[in-house]
């Protein structure tokens, strides 16, 4: 299927690993000119940027120029319940993921509006649907960003812009593999047996980063030109089972 993305100018944040890196690779395969940003990244068409810092989003948007697609992906929020996550930790995590998304969207949206076209895709997380008190800062952040995505995407058609979100469930990133190796060591006495713990997941495995990135490419394309103000859950049905 030709997604007709060839020549599109795309910015992906959190581009150095995991879902962000997969987005860079798959969008490049579709013929996009892909720009990448993260707090530590090197290479052509990349820029080191800590979006938790004020003014960085605006500088990054200016560097990226006129974009056809923005993929907001930067940010990882630590686990913990209300008593374990102190104010400093909570604010630091939200400065990157919540305000980083909002500020970069604001800066890029203005340029897209002037051209009356563009797509903004927010990578969120299914903790915004499967609310988890042991991940309270993340659940609250993702739920808020879901509302942000729907609110903006419900009106952005007037400016020729689409805004959509993706809620991944467990994804086989380095971070998840490391966590499951620790769990396997604790439960099974052998970190190398971590894949045995996947049996409780849908289809007996986590999603791949490429599966999430492929959905990003589709949502960015003309094949999905009437999609805005909604969230696509890619979690093997976890949120449906939870409800």
pLDDT tens digits, one per residue of 173-208: 998 999 899 999 999 999 999 999 999 899 999 999
Q: Please indicate, yes or no, if residue 85 is contained in any of the structural domains.
A: yes
Per-residue buried b or exposed e for 141-163, using 16+ beta carbons within 10 Å of the residue's own CB: bbbbbbebbbebbeebeebebbb
Q: Please indicate, yes or no, if residue 25 is contained in any of the structural domains.
A: yes
* pLDDT digit string, tens, across residues 34-65: 999 999 888 889 999 999 999 999 999 999 99
Strands (E), the chain: 9-13, 33-38, 46-48, 69-72, 118-123, 161-168, 231-234
Same domain (yes/no): 112, 86: yes
Same domain (yes/no): 39, 149: yes
Which residues are within 8 A (CB) of 66 and not within 5 positions of it... i.e. 6 or more apart? Answer: 9, 111, 115
Q: Please indicate, yes or no, if residue 241 is contained in any of the structural domains.
A: no
Query: Do strands 9-13 and 231-234 pair parallel, antiparallel, or not at all (unpaired)?
Result: unpaired
Q: Please indicate, yes or no, if residue 164 is contained in any of the structural domains.
A: yes
Same domain (yes/no): 93, 195: no
**Tokens 């593999």 sit at which residue?**
177
**What length is written for the chain?**
243
Q: Please indicate, yes or no, if residue 232 is contained in any of the structural domains.
A: no
Same domain (yes/no): 47, 134: yes
Q: Please indicate, yes or no, if residue 243 is contained in any of the structural domains.
A: no
Closest CA to 28 of 49, 47, 48, 11: 11
Identify the segments of the chain with pLDDT beneath 50.
none
Same domain (yes/no): 190, 216: no
Per-residue buried b or exposed e for 10-21, using 16+ beta carbons within 10 Å of the residue's own CB: bbbbbbbebbbb
The three state secondary structure string of 172-218 is CCHHHHHHHHHHHHHHHCCHHHHHHHHHHCHHHCCECHHHHHHHHHH
Q: Please indicate, yes or no, if residue 196 is contained in any of the structural domains.
A: yes
- Lookup: tokens for 164: 């959509």
Same domain (yes/no): 75, 133: yes
At residue 242, the pLDDT reads 64
Same domain (yes/no): 47, 106: yes
At residue 227, the pLDDT reads 98
Same domain (yes/no): 142, 220: yes
At residue 179, the pLDDT reads 87
Q: What backbone torsions phi and psi does residue 207 show, to the nearest 5 degrees? A: -70, 160
> What CATH number is associated with residue 103?
3.40.50.720
Among left, alpha and beta (phi > 0; psi -120 to 50; other), residue 168 is beta
Q: Within a 10 A sphere around the Cβ of 89, how many other Cβ atoms?
A: 14
- Print the domain residue range for 180: 173-206
Rounded CA gap, 196 and 222, in Å?
A: 40
pTM of the full predicted structure? 0.95
Same domain (yes/no): 52, 132: yes
Rounded CA gap, 180 and 177, in Å?
A: 5
Same domain (yes/no): 57, 135: yes
Closest CA to 229 of 132, 152, 130, 174: 152
Structural domains in the chain (count):
2
Same domain (yes/no): 34, 135: yes
Q: Please indicate, yes or no, if residue 235 is contained in any of the structural domains.
A: no
Same domain (yes/no): 84, 177: no
């Amino acid at each position: 299927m030709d997604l007709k993305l060839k020549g599109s100018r795309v910015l992906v944040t959190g581009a150095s690993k995991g879902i962000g890196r997969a987005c860079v690779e798959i969008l490049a395969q579709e013929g996009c000119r892909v720009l990448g940003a993260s707090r530590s990244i090197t290479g052509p068409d990349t820029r080191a940027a800590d979006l938790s810092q004020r003014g960085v989003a605006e500088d990054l948007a200016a560097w990226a120029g006129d974009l056809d697609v923005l993929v907001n992906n930067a940010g990882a929020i630590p686990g913990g319940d209300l008593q374990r996550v102190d104010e400093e930790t909570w604010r630091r995590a939200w400065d990157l993921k919540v305000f980083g998304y909002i500020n970069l969207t604001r800066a890029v949206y203005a340029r897209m509006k002037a051209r009356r076209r563009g797509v903004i895709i927010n990578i969120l997380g299914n903790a915004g649907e499967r609310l988890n008190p042991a991940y309270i800062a993340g659940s609250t952040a993702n739920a808020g960003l879901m509302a942000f995505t729907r609110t903006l995407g419900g009106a952005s058609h007037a400016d020729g812009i689409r805004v959509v979100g993706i809620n991944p469930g467990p994804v086989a990133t380095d971070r998840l593999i490391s966590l499951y190796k620790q769990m396997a060591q604790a439960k099974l006495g052998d970190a190398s047996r971590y894949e045995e713990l996947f049996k409780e997941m849908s289809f007996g495995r986590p999603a791949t980063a490429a599966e999430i990135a492929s959905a990003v490419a589709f949502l960015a394309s003309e094949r999905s030109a009437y999609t805005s103000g909604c969230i696509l859950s890619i979690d093997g049905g976890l949120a449906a089972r939870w409800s």
